[in-house]
Each structure stands twice: as C-alpha cells, then as structure tokens.
Structure 1
Amino acid sequence: MSVETAAANAEDYGTTASGSSFYAAMRILPRAQRDAMFLIYSFCRQVDDIADSHGPRDERLAALQQWRDDIDALYRGNPPPRLKDYVASVKSFGLKREDFLAIVDGMEMDVPQDIRAPDMATLDLYCDRVASAVGRLSVRVFGLPEEDGVLLAHHLGRALQLTNILRDVDEDAGLGRLYLPREMLLHAGITSNDPQRVIAERNLPKVCLPLADRAKKHFEKADDIMKRNSRRAVRAPRIMSKYYRAILDLLIIRGFATPREPVRVGKMQKIGILLRYAFI
C-alpha cells in the first residue's frame, strides 16, 4: 500500500520471493486485481529507481518529467508503450491520474537535493505522496468504498512510511538523507541536520519513540477502518499492516540507541500473519 514501503519490502526479499509480504498479500487477490496491483508496483519501482539512482540530478528530474508526460498521454487515450498494459486496469478500477502524478511528485522531493530534517508539514506531504497516494490507487483495486478507502490510504500509508523511516534511519543516513522531522529533533536538543551526526546522537531515541507513537496511532485508525469493511476487501492491506506493525514493534523493543541491529520479522511469524488474515 505504499510506494517506498512496497518497494523496500520487495527489495528485502525480491518481488517474486515467497518471503515477500507484498508478494504474498497480492497473490491472494483475484487475477484482475492482482495484475493491477503488480502494475502499480512496477510503476512505483521504476520511478523510485530514478529518484534513488546516482545519475546527475538534472537527468533524474528529466526522467521523472517524462513519466508525468507519459501518464498524461495514458489518460488522453494515447498511452506510450511502457503504459499500454495499464489501460485496462485504469478503466476497470477507476485509477486516478492525480494519484500516479502524486507518486512522481513524491519521488522528486528527494532529487533536487536530499531531504534532511524536513518540518512536520513537509514530512506529512512526503508520506502522502510516496505512500498514501499508492494506497489510494490500491484501495480502488481492492474494492473498498470511496470514503473509507481514502481514509484507509491516509492512515495506513502514513503508518507504513513512518515505520520505514524508523527502520531505515541508518541506511538513509548513508545516502545523505534524514527524514526525521525538524521539530522533533529540536525538541530533543538536536540542532544538526547532518544525517551521520544525527544518527550518532545520544538523544536520538527521544525523536524516534514519539515518531513510533505517531505510527502506532495511524495503525490503530487503519485497523478501525478495516474492521468495518468486508474482510475480503481488506485481506491484502491487513496483511501488509500486520507485517509492518510487527516491524514497528520489533524496533520499539530493540530501541533506537546505538548500536542498532537490523530487525526482521521471522519466517514463522510471517507465515502466521498470512494464514490468519488470508485464509482464516
């Protein structure tokens, strides 16, 4: 249900590996829905790869603009070759042009310069574009009612993306990026926005734990929305939610002080999530 969440999740295990929660969640869908979701994922992966590449920034900006032009052509009824397979899914599920464009806009936020200690409003906009916009496409495929679908995309997208940020704080710092919000850093007495300096700060847990609490509240609101909707319609997002909530719980148990060992959901726990929410 999120651009970078789905991307990071599939990067961990491979998009076709049986261990991928994204792959597992999508495989339980009927064929037309499954095909649409993998097309959405493919789009997300391609624009994410542009943003994360080491090419010159102006070339990456141009490549993202070409994706915008191609999306516009798709919705004008003249899809370029790389988007011809999207026509049926766009029509069948009412996928919206503005959500595809929002994803590109989100990826572009990292291109002119690396994001470092954004303010809360900018971080929320980033989460909306790279995560909740993917959710808005996805809930249409899953068949949720419009209002609850948009709400679920809002809360679950943010929950997944904040979990990603907390999980990948050291990895992102290695790329020169820092997604922890400026207000929380300053509240913890951290004035630097240099990623390597920030991740070594003794007070970093005072930033990460409140952000984890924010993610938990989004998970809880997403759970409330899924509980009042058809179990069949929310099977896939529920699997993703439970998997990422397990990651968040492991991060909180581990703590955010150095040294920070990577966390990973165990194979049996992943199988348990899949069995409980896909089949039982």
Structure 2
Amino acid sequence: MSATATPASAGEAEAPALPASGSSFYTAMRLLPKERREAMYAVYAFCRAVDDVADDGGPRDVRRAELDRWRADIDALYAGRPMARTRDLVEPVARFDLKREDFQAIIDGMAMDAEEDIVAPDEATLDLYCDRVASAVGRLSVRIFGMPEADGIELAWHQGRALQLTNILRDIDEDAERNRLYLPREKLEAIGLTTPTPRQAIMHPRIGEVCAALAREAEAHYRASWEIIRRNPRKATKAARLMAAAYHLYLKAVVARGWVPPRARVKPGKLSLILVALRHGVI
C-alpha cells in the first residue's frame, strides 16, 4: 500500500510527501486554486506519513509509539505549538477551519492497522475503519474545497466509503499477502466461512458473492455522492467529481474482471482516465 519509510522522531523535519504525478489524486488536486491545492498537499503529506507508520513502521510497539507521537503533535499544533513536521498544516488549519478530531480520527484508523492485522472485521468495525481512514480525510478535504458544511460532511461520508470499499475490492490479493482481510465477517459467514485466514477466504469458490455484495454497497455510496455533487456549485466540487469518476472506473474494472482466481491486477485504460479528466476537470 505504501512505500517503506522510517518513522521520524517527534518534531523532526520531514520533506513533504507529494502524490505521484500520474495518480487520480494528483490530477484532481491540480484543478484547485493554489492556496487550496497547497493545503490539500499538506493534508496528503500528513496522511501519507501516518499511513507509512501503520504499514511499514517496524514492530507493532514502535508503530504504536510513533502514532502516539503524531497524536501529540496534532494536539500541539492546535495548541499553537506546531512541531517541524506539522508546520505545513498551520495555515490550512487556520484558513479552512480544519478540525482536530478529523486528524485524530485518521491516526486512529491507522492504529487499527498498526495494532493488529485486520482479518474479517464485523460490518460495524469495517464501517468505522472506512470512516477513519477515508471519510475523515474527506471531511478535511471538503472544507478545503469550499463546500457548504452540511453537504460537505455528507459527501465525505458517502464518498469516503465508496473509495475505500473500491480499494478493498481492488486490493484483496495484495492485502492477503500482508495477512489482512477487510471483507466483512457477516458476508463471509453467509458463504460458510467462520474463521478463515485471508488466503482461505480469497480462494473460496463463493468469494465472488461477498465481493459482489460489497461492490453493490460501494455503488450505492457512489450514487449518493453524485446526488450531492450535482446539487452543489461546480467550482467547489470539481476535485471531488474527478475523484469519484476516476475511482468508479476501478470499481467497474474489478467487477468486469470477476472474482475467480487468479485475479489479474486491474487498472483503467489511459484513454478512459483522460476522458474522465476532460469531462470532469477541464470542460
């Protein structure tokens, strides 16, 4: 999921992490005015840093301690005492009224991965995970985009879940290699799996039923996201629109590929992504 990184000690300066130039996120952020774009890059750098801790930060006790230092650094930021690695967040927090609890929720989501390998969480736990690692990022983002408060929070709720469920379905094989399985327990039990290992689950002959059900949930969240996007000003929703359209291509690609192993890694064609960018970003 993330490139290997060595966690920095509290207060140590870090080079800001920027999204890859070919990524959907990078393209979407390029559509924003300079001050909003730079704010999103600062949020992205924070998310990338804590994600690297959760995925590749060493033994669990080391990861736990480093995430605790990040929690302390966010508290210090909001107390007016920013550390070196949170200084790029000072202006975005003040300018766009970013909420401390959303940053802390993201850290809590990363801690769910750092504390133990997630294997077949119940649906409530999976939803909490999606809220923390995706919708909380969305709540920060919609403030930066300039969306109205109520619709912005609702969009973050739906779009965060749509994108995260898409990631889960796209990455089931890669996650299993890490001994992780984000498919919900209740859906696995419905096909006769009670305490499966990730490998056992993804190789089960009926795993497609579980994945298809989760894909339908993701589709419902995409539909709800588009309803909110369409009733709001285009200027404030341009980046969200591009992200939703681009990620939906991934969902359609994995559904079209199917779930029978071996499952080839899917990626939408370059032309499809260009058409999405033209339709939702430039036109």
Question: Shorter-chain TM-score: which interval?
Answer: over 0.9
Task: With a CA cutoff of 8 Å and minimum separation of 6, indicate the structure with the bigger relative contact order.
Answer: 1
Asked whether the equivalents of residues 18 and 41 of structure 2 are also in contact (C-alpha less than 8 Å), the reply is: no
The letter of the residue matching 1:57 is: R
Distance of aligned partners of 1:182 and 1:141 in 2 relative to their CA distance in 1, 3 Å threshold: same
Q: Which residue of 1 aligns with 2:199?
A: 196
- Residue 265 of structure 1 and its aligned partner are, at CA, apart by 1.0
Residue 233 of structure 1 is matched in structure 2 by 236
Q: Distance in 2 between matches of 1:54 and 1:72?
A: 22
Q: How does 1:67-86 map to 2 (within 5 A)?
A: 67-86=70-89
2:217 matched residue in structure 1:
214
In the alignment, structure 1 residue 250 sits paired with structure 2 residue 223: no
1:269 aligns with 2:272: yes
2:163 maps to a residue whose letter is L
Which residue is 1:183 aligned to?
Answer: 186
- Within a 5 Å distance, the mapping from 1:130-149 to structure 2 comes to 130-149=133-152
Aligned position for 2:64: 61
Does the 8 Å CA contact 1:198/1:204 hold for their aligned counterparts? Answer: yes
Unaligned runs of 5+ in 2: 4-16
TM superposition score normalised by structure 2:
0.93
Counting aligned pairs with the same residue, the percent is: 55
How many Å separate the matches in 2 of 1:43 and 1:207? Answer: 33
In 1, the alpha carbon distance for the partners of 2:19 and 2:89 equals 20
Name the structure 2 match of 1:91.
Answer: 94
Distance 1:120 1:109 in 2: 15
Instruction: Judge conservation of contact 1:189–1:203 (CA < 8 Å) in 2.
Output: no
Runs of 5+ consecutive residues of structure 1 not aligned to the other structure: 9-13
Amino acid corresponding to residue 241 of structure 1 in structure 2: A
Task: Determine helix, strand or coil for the equivalent of 2:113.
Answer: coil
- Please tell me the residue identity of whatever aligns with 2:155: L
Question: Which residue of structure 1 aligns with residue 10 of structure 2?
Answer: none
Residue correspondences, number: 270
TM-score, normalised relative to structure 1? 0.94
Given that 2:106 and 2:133 are in contact with CA atoms closer than 8 Å, whether structure 1 keeps it comes out as: yes
RMSD of aligned Cα (Å): 1.4
User: What displacement does 1:18 show?
Assistant: 3.8
Letter in 2 for 1:267: K
Contact (CA 8 Å) 2:18, 2:45: kept in 1 or not?
no
State the match for 1:46 in structure 2.
Answer: 49
Asked if the contact 2:121–2:183 (Cα under 8 Å) also holds between the matched residues in 1, the reply is yes
CA contact (8 A) 2:18 2:44 kept: no
Contact 1:15 1:22 in 2 (8 A): no
